[in-house]
Amino acid sequence: MRYISTRGNAPFRPFSEIVLSGLAPDGGLYLPETYPVIGEQELEQWRRLPYRELAFQVIRRFASDPDEADLRAIIDRTYTARTYRSEEIVPLTTVDGDVHILGLSNGPTLAFKDMAMQFLGNLFEHILERTGRTLNLLGATSGDTGSSAEYAMRGKRGIRVFMLSPYGKMSPFQTAQMYSLTDPNIVNLAVRGVFDDCQDLVKKILADGSFARSHGLGTVNSINWARVVAQVVYYFKGYFAATRTSDQEISFSVPTGNFGNVCAGHIARQMGVPIRKLILATNENDVLDEFFRTGVYRVRSSADTYQTSSPSMDISKASNFERFVFDLAGRDPVTIRDLWTRIDSLGRFDLSGTEMFSRIGQFGFVSGASTHSDRLRTVRDLYHRHGLLLDPHTANGLKVGLEHKEKGIPLVCLETALPAKFEAFIVEAIGRRPPRPTGTETIESLPQRFHLIDADEAAVRRILEESPLL
Ligand SMILES: *Cc1c(COP(=O)(O)O)cnc(C)c1O
């Protein structure tokens, strides 16, 4: 399997090379030349596979390197009952008849990002060992990505993590998760500023090619292709868990920020999983809901990006969206270059009334948005009727999912975090604190370790430079 860029001006590359790089050299995103298609018979055979075996079957279709034995070993190390708290890895809970929640948040940081990030940690370590290279991962986080990356990379040979986070802006639980890590290869940079300041610093430093090369810099942001591929697996698993035979259709509802999770759903659908609808849910930051309703994609400024009670969905533009638009455009890189030139100059493009937008129905997407009061109501209602507790992100997904629920079509809502991560919200919703998984009960009282810095590029560079290369 070879990889191409959505902008059409990058050489073909194999899997193990593209997963270590971010954007393609032409500024596009990597995608496989074609999607592997799984026939109905094969799908039926996969139905009974345990998670690890299913993950191997799916990921192998996208990764011709590492070789099969190595890939299997990486996957077997990743998807364990020890890391994800049950042998099922992603347990399905039935809420009401044929409405289900797929539990993707039982990994070490209690958010679905662990599903892919744990795999990435083991994959990177393997690739670096084979090539003798080392990697300094530089990233910015508003909460979940940073902790997920740190827990995936801690103690890994040849890898160090420098993670910028907005000082005082994350939930106390998220802050404690990151800052309490004491592994020498994890460096937390608490920035006096907001998430966008952190993101800008990372972008500026990575844009300095010679500095990035000489310091072996890389990223694990949401455009990383291996993350998307690892997420495809649980769409298969969720499909099997909610159906009996492989001629049945189901719909998924997906709380969305950077379009990473739902991009994996799009790919699972292209591969042949009988997904009727991909229900995309946003919060008040409704860039993507607006696009799927109207055809207008309009990125927001940071001043127009709201801070909400589902902070991991507070995005102003969706970094993986270009992958879907490439498919929508019939995989024409000229169209993509043109559209993203418009984004760069005008901050928007408008596909309404075009032949291209009229094809959108073929891809199964529908969308909706949810507000703070919707989240509260959804969480309260589910708790009082069923004794189940959801985090505010998953609540966005359930709210919008139910609006699009069709009779006779099972609905699987992807759970993207556990309520324990968002205690203040849960207290507001139901008047009591959420239960905490074993081992996290007193996390806020652990000693914390971080560098407190101004939103200043020189300060970040200094810390990178002062940390000796591994
Ligand atoms: C990252 C995240 C999202 C958004 O996922 P994308 O892949 O960026 O669309 C939603 N909910 C939670 C809890 C997250 O951490």
Centre of ligand 1 to C-alpha 69, Å, is 31
Centre of ligand 1 to C-alpha 67, Å, is 31
Q: For residues 118 and 80, what is the distance between their CA atoms, to the nearest angstrom?
A: 10
Q: For residues 415 and 111, what is the distance between their CA atoms, to the nearest angstrom?
A: 8
Strands (E), 71-121: 92-96, 99-103
CB atoms within 10 A of CB 266: 26
Catalytic residue, chosen from 113, 156, 237, 277, is 113
Ligand 1 atom closest to the CA of 143, numbered from 1: 15
Centre of ligand 1 to C-alpha 317, Å, is 13
**CA dist 172 to 277, 345, 446, Å?**
36, 39, 12
Ligand 1 atom closest to the CA of 417, numbered from 1: 13
What global pTM score does this model have?
0.96
List of the chain residues with pLDDT < 70: 468-470
Across the beta sheet with 99-103, the strand order is 92-96, 99-103, 411-415, 250-255, 275-282, 365-369
Q: What confidence score (pLDDT) does residue 469 get?
A: 56
Q: Mind listing the pLDDT tens digit for each residue in 171-199?
A: 899 999 999 999 999 999 999 998 888 98
Q: What confidence score (pLDDT) does residue 401 get?
A: 98
Ligand 1 atom closest to the CA of 258, numbered from 1: 8
Q: What confidence score (pLDDT) does residue 468 get?
A: 63
Q: What confidence score (pLDDT) does residue 470 get?
A: 56
Q: What confidence score (pLDDT) does residue 335 get?
A: 98
Q: What confidence score (pLDDT) does residue 316 get?
A: 87
Q: Whose CA is nearest to atom 14 of ligand 1?
A: 312
399 is catalytic: no
Q: What confidence score (pLDDT) does residue 129 get?
A: 94
Q: What confidence score (pLDDT) does residue 20 get?
A: 86
Q: For residues 225 and 232, what is the distance between their CA atoms, to the nearest angstrom?
A: 11
Q: Residues enclosing ligand 1, CB less than 6 A? A: 111, 113, 144, 222, 255-261, 312-313, 393, 416-417
CATH of 92-109+234-430, one of 3.20.20.80, 3.40.50.920, 3.65.10.10, 3.40.50.1100: 3.40.50.1100
Centre of ligand 1 to C-alpha 214, Å, is 32
